[in-house]
Amino acid sequence: MFIMTVLFYLPMSAQTSTRAELMPLDERGKYIYYEVVEKNPVPADSLQIRANEFLTAKKLDAVKSTKDQLSASGKFLISKTAFVLTRPSGEVLYNFVFELKEGKYRFWLTDFAFIAYKRDRYANYVPATVKGVPLEKEPGKLNAAEWTSYIAAAGKQADLFATEFKQYLSVGKKTAVQPQTKPSVSTKSW
């Protein structure tokens, strides 16, 4: 009964987004998460190194680096979640660009494309295809609500990514936490 109750609510959890929460479009008509950071005390070469470290740590693919620019591609997992249960709906691919100029930097995520997941013969979720569908493509009214939720989820993920990225660029790699030495009690002398 509990499972059936949860199943009833599952489809609802991913469809609560509205158009107002969606990302803006750029001049090409593509969804974009765009940010410029003006007040930045970190030197340019450190920013470049830190940005590279961040992309590597996040396991983004095809990282390309020039003097003032970094680019890479990554993906966000989109899941439907209810209470303690979840299941992946698909993944959103994106391209990431980072640029430095005169003491400030900017970055953006764009070219979002959705790949639906399907269950394979072992009940694992796997990509149904390798070719993503651009998020700008009109899904038709039958799938409009679900598609809107994917765009909103991609925007939310881009926002989280951006927050982490800016944080990393401002402080760099955190000092590795030294393993605590186990307290020891000597019983030899007393």
Partner 1 sequence: MSAATYAQETTTSSPLQISGSADTYYKYDFSKKQNIGTSFANDQNSISLGMIDLALKKTTGKASFVGELSFGPRGQYASIPAGDAAGDGNSFHIQNLYTSYAFTDKFSMTAGYMGTFIGYEVIAPTGNYNYSTSYLFTSGPFQNAGIKANYTFSPKVALMVGLFNDWNVYSDDNGVSHFGAQLTLSPVEGWTAYLNVLTGKSAGAPGTGSIYDLTTSYQVTESVKLGLNAADYSISNDNGGYSGVALYAQNAFTTNFSLGLRGEYFKSKSDLNAATITTVPPGESVVALTLSANLKAGGLTFIPEIRFDNGSSSQFIKNNLDPTKTASQFSLAAVYAF
Is 44 one of the binding residues for partner 1 (CB under 8 A)?
no
Number of residues lying near partner 1 (CB under 8 A): 50
Q: Interacting stretch for partner 1, rule CB under 8 A, among 23-31, 34-42, 75-83, 172-180?
A: 75-83
Q: Residues 64, 87, 101, 173: which binds partner 1 (CB under 8 A)?
A: 87
Q: Residues 121, 174, 182, 188: which binds partner 1 (CB under 8 A)?
A: 121
- What gap in Å lies between CA 45 and CA 48, rounded to an integer? 5
Give the 3-state secondary structure of residue 20. Answer: helix
Is 98 one of the binding residues for partner 1 (CB under 8 A)?
no
Residues 6+ apart with CB under 8 A from 108: 32, 33, 34, 35, 96, 97
Mind giving me the DSSP string for 53-92? Answer: HHHHHTT-EEEEE-SSEEEEEEEEEEEEEETTEEEEEEEE
Smallest distance, Å, CB 101 to partner 1?
28
Is 19 one of the binding residues for partner 1 (CB under 8 A)?
no
Footprint of partner 1 on residues 152-171 (CB under 8 A)? 153, 156-157, 160-161
Q: Of 89, 90, 57, 93, whose CA–CA distance to 74 is shortest?
A: 93
Q: Would you say 95 and 109 are in contact if contact means Cβ atoms under 8 Å apart?
A: yes
Smallest distance, Å, CB 124 to partner 1?
7
Is 177 one of the binding residues for partner 1 (CB under 8 A)?
no
Q: Residues 22, 44, 63, 145: which binds partner 1 (CB under 8 A)?
A: 145
Is 109 one of the binding residues for partner 1 (CB under 8 A)?
no
- What gap in Å lies between CA 175 and CA 162, rounded to an integer? 21
**Residue 72 β-bridge partners:** 96
Is 122 one of the binding residues for partner 1 (CB under 8 A)?
yes
76 φ, ψ to 5°?
A: -110, 140
Smallest distance, Å, CB 16 to partner 1?
9
**Residue 60 β-bridge partners:** none
Contacts with partner 1, residue ranges (CB under 8 A): 3, 6-7, 10-11, 13-14, 58-60, 74-81, 84-88, 91, 118-125, 129-133, 137, 139-140, 142-143, 145-147, 153, 156-157, 160-161
